[in-house]
Chain A
Amino acid sequence: MEKLAGIEADIESFFGEQDQQKSSSDSCKQVPWLNWEEWDSVRESLFSSSPDRVASALQRVATWRSRGSLPAPVDVTCSLIEIQLKDGFIPREKQSADALYSEHLLQMLYCMGILRLVNCVIEKTRRRENFSIAEAAKAIGIPRKLIDLRHEGSHRELPALSVLRDAADEVLEWLKSYYWEPQKYQIPLKRDGTASIRREVKSKLRKLAFSLQLKQNPQFDSPLVKDKCSNKRIRKIVSSLVELYPSFSAEISSVLLEFLLKALDSSKSTGLENQSGQDIRVCLDEWKPVIVEFSNREPELLLTLLKAVLDMIQNNERRRYETEKSAEEVSQVEQVPFLFVWLVSLLNGSKHFQRNSSVEVKPPSMFFMELIRKCLLLGALGHEVVLKSAFLLAEIVGGRVLKEKLIKLPLKRKSSASIPLEQSSTLVTTPTTLLEQEKNLGNAGKRLEFVKLQLSKKKGNDTDNSGNRWRKAKTWSPCPIGMLPRIIGSSGRLPLLDHQNNAQSISKQAQGNNNAKRGAECSSQELEKSACKRARKSADESESNDVALETYEEEAEMDVEHAYEETEAESEENLMWKDNEESRSCLMIGGEWKRVNDGELLGMASNVRICV
């Protein structure tokens, strides 16, 4: 039996405080909608002319009703609209199947709607017993006629249907002016589409960059300039960006990325010869204060940027063998890794990710391990700088121990792996090399399975997944109730609450599959398919196969190192696969996972056969 000593008095005093606070400015009220966008879309659908939209809006309001705390004007509006839909006498193109044609019933329904309007909407606003209902109605602007109709409908004969119908229209107009319009204007931010968000974000970022630059180079002494770079103004811009972040994180990070890439391009034009990227760093440093300021308030920004840049590098890698690439793209491809290095250096310096920081937030290790994994992959393909940053990241997450572990990994260097195009005369030896590589892969896979088995035996009988529906969430960061957690930071992201069918979850599962790396066997299968696809595009079979094979071999070896993490990840992926009834295979085409039918697969396979 639990007791609550101490907290009860606190609860009572808290509630006492809250009652006093109701009149304060920061009075929050509970609402049944997730965000104001939902409310706004319902508002538009309710007053639209398409019956489908109206029906879906009414459904949504019924859901709101079940949640409680639905404002009375919304309730009355929807009741009246629903009654109007049921009115079979109102001329429209297509009457619904359950339209009513009984005049008496319709009279009763309309009367009830008007009754609820008067009682629910007015009653709340009038101070009791001082005013009559008529006076209270006049105070908020309800036409007197509606009060009379209510009185007549509840005490005397039901008013005429046509009168009631007109009154209903009038009520809806009045509700629009009393509630729907004023509430719309009170919503904090109005959104009209992604394009305007991007513009807004761009202008804010530019302003921020400008202000910070001025602040750092105080050359001018005029008050105008001082005003532009004052701390207060900077804080204001950063706050507005941080406010936008939860709902529009993708847009913000993509806009920032655009700016950074532009800066990269501008450095190229100054004639870059230096391999270490000094000039690049100088150009990128323009943006350093902006990103540092922003990420101090919103630590997740840096992580999203890192992930985006890594994905970009990976995509570029996958498309390496496409022949139609412009010169700009090629040079950009070379420079993006330097961007990554620069970002990691920022991360290193950020106060949120120091090992002994006083900030409570600790770096999310699973996310970082994922990043490190990708970096190692890319490092094996020859991006040395990326590899070095991987070591830096490892130090942030796991300290020197992890960093040293990673340095010890047997990663082949680029020089031994690459076979220049000119020496492709070794086509003769290709089949045996391929076979050898395949055998190596197979062995690596077997080793991996063995290690996994050992580890699971060591863990004991904990891996009984059969009855474990309810598990404590593995990765969790605090977030508001009703939202989903972000990787880091406290803002939370809004959930998508539309009931999805299986179709949409397939593409996500495919990406998950890629992440989990279920051992060499699986990847060799995909390897053959993707390698063959590349072989079709480029004339040089051996080089691509070698490089790709080695890539996956590296994968397999690294898998052995990170096996313990994968057991967990794999069981999670297993769960996801079980849920999906129609699992279709996915192929990597053009650098992206795409769903592929069996028929298409057969077609591709036959094409490959012809080619080889």
Chain B
Amino acid sequence: MSETEKKLPFIPKEWSDAANSVSCSSLQPVVALVCGPKNSGKSTFSRHLVQVLLQRYKRVAYLDTDVGQPEFTAPGFLSLTVVDKSIIDSDWTVPCVKTPERCFFYGDVSSKRDPKAYLRYIYTLFDYYQLYFCKSSENKTELPLVINTPGWVKGIGYDLLVDILRYVSPSHVVKINISAYSKNLPAGFFWLDGNDDETAHLIEIQSAYQDRFNRSVLILKDARLLRDMRIIAYFRQCIKGKEVNTIKELTHELASHIPYEVPISSLTISHLHCQFSSSEVFYSLNASIVGLGISSDVFEDLPSCVGLGIVRGIDTERGVLYVITPVPENVVEKIDLLLQGNIQLPTCLLDVKDYRSPYLSPNVLASS
């Protein structure tokens, strides 16, 4: 894709009005939550909102609660990121990776795996925002916060959204509706149960594209493909100083890239969602994606996470792990926690021409 063709997303007038009203609001601090069904345009609207807010404020905080398609990190993370004006020039359709202020490795791409942990991480991130970016003083100004949510609006997803809304009590809630009425969130202040006295502004907007019959045209995305793409984009940062322009080159480079060597005894390895006996640890750890955490950097009893790594080999004779990660060296030294989750390695990373991984086999029975 050439630099000159930047695909600008289509922002209908309704959306820009909504964004402007959020931005010009007198309520302080500005905490805006964007919700709506799948593929309705939440991420696009959030980005637009961030850009509008950056016209008024110097920096904007972004709390990403969509663990399957986060905006600034690899999938599997819940993060609080602070962005400034430099993001306006970037190409929004290209996945960009930014270092968050605080992030936690959730270990899966959907909140259904562990709803309680999911909520806990989000509450903690919001507390972090309130502590560090919310109080205004002489040298610190308040930052507005934009919260993006996943598109799961029924069942457990709905309950989680309501819990988040109750905890955060945002100043603005932007609800995107699509024309298929039954798929939308309930009308009105659906998260209040009548006893609360909320002063939130509720802005309801329609999804961007509509056809002749005023039916919403949703831009369908292959979620799995997007996730794999994000993971690959994340690990591409490992390769510095070389031109990598195709997938084949990238996977070849990753297979030859010199990994970090770390003794197993200096790390704590734990799986976020399953229990194993100690003899099985290496079988689940080999060739898998792990979150890298620093156990000394704790906020509200949760260790912070600095990035993802691929455990590309385990040498039990020497007692070392070989890990590929793009996290910078000065941060890597502090890592002593490996968190295993359920994020699968994208298949294309295993399928390298001369270096095909043993976990990719051509002899699998076709029907299974």
Q: How far is the CA of A35 from the CA of B364 in the complex (A)?
A: 12
Answer whether A481 and B349 are a contact pair too, CB < 8 Å, given A8-B229, A471-B261: yes
- List residues of B (80-100) whose CB comes within 8 Å of A's CBs: 86-87, 90-91, 93-98
CB contacts (< 8 Å) of B1 on chain A: these are 5-6, 8-9
Q: How far is the CA of A476 from the CA of B260 in the complex (A)?
A: 10
- List residues of B (184-235) whose CB comes within 8 Å of A's CBs: 222, 225, 228-229, 232-233
**Is there an interface contact between B261 and A472, defined as CB atoms closer than 8 Å?**
yes
Q: A476 is contacted by which of B259, B278, B356 (Cβ under 8 Å)?
A: B259
**Is there an interface contact between A499 and B282, defined as CB atoms closer than 8 Å?**
yes
Tell me, rounded to whole Å, the shortest Cβ–Cβ distance linking B338 to chain A: 12
Q: How far is the CA of A67 from the CA of B350 in the complex (A)?
A: 14
**Is there an interface contact between B258 and A481, defined as CB atoms closer than 8 Å?**
no
Q: Which residue of B has the minimal Cβ distance to A512?
A: B318
**Is there an interface contact between A73 and B368, defined as CB atoms closer than 8 Å?**
yes
Q: Does B3 contact A (CB under 8 A)?
A: yes
**Is there an interface contact between A481 and B357, defined as CB atoms closer than 8 Å?**
yes
- List residues of B (312-368) whose CB comes within 8 Å of A's CBs: 312-319, 322-323, 329, 332-333, 335-336, 340, 342, 344-345, 347-352, 354-365, 367-368
Q: Does B288 contact A (CB under 8 A)?
A: yes
Answer whether A5 and B333 are a contact pair too, CB < 8 Å, given A472-B258, A478-B255, A483-B313: no
Which of B10-18, B121-129, B165-173, B239-247 sits within the interface? B239-247
Tell me, rounded to whole Å, the shortest Cβ–Cβ distance linking B321 to chain A: 10
Q: B90 is contacted by which of A1, A12, A470 (Cβ under 8 Å)?
A: A1
**Is there an interface contact between A6 and B284, defined as CB atoms closer than 8 Å?**
no
Tell me, rounded to whole Å, the shortest Cβ–Cβ distance linking A164 to chain B: 25
CB contacts (< 8 Å) of A473 on chain B: these are 258-261, 322
Q: B274 is contacted by which of A62, A188, A484, A485 (Cβ under 8 Å)?
A: A62
**Is there an interface contact between A481 and B316, defined as CB atoms closer than 8 Å?**
no
Which of B28-36, B46-54, B262-270 sits within the interface? B262-270
Answer whether A4 and B277 are a contact pair too, CB < 8 Å, given A60-B283, A480-B358, A495-B286: no
Count A-B pairs with CB separation below 8 Å.
250
Interface size in chain A (residues, C-beta < 8 A): 80
Answer whether A482 and B342 are a contact pair too, CB < 8 Å, given A3-B94, A188-B363: no
Q: How far is the CA of A68 from the CA of B224 in the complex (A)?
A: 14
Answer whether A481 and B348 are a contact pair too, CB < 8 Å, given A30-B360, A66-B342: no
**Is there an interface contact between B262 and A63, defined as CB atoms closer than 8 Å?**
no
**Is there an interface contact between B229 and A34, defined as CB atoms closer than 8 Å?**
no
Q: How far is the CA of A3 from the CA of B232 in the complex (A)?
A: 12
- Interface of A toward B, CB cutoff 8 Å: 1-12, 14-15, 18, 26-36, 59-60, 62-63, 65-69, 71-74, 124-125, 140, 178-179, 182-183, 186-188, 467-474, 476, 478-485, 490, 492, 494-500, 505, 508, 575-576, 579
- Interface of B toward A, CB cutoff 8 Å: 1, 3, 86-87, 90-91, 93-98, 222, 225, 228-229, 232-233, 236-237, 244-247, 250, 254-256, 258-263, 265-267, 271, 273-274, 276-284, 286-288, 310, 312-319, 322-323, 329, 332-333, 335-336, 340, 342, 344-345, 347-352, 354-365, 367-368
Closest 9 CB pairs of A and B: A482-B287, A478-B256, A71-B368, A480-B355, A497-B282, A473-B261, A29-B364, A63-B280, A68-B344
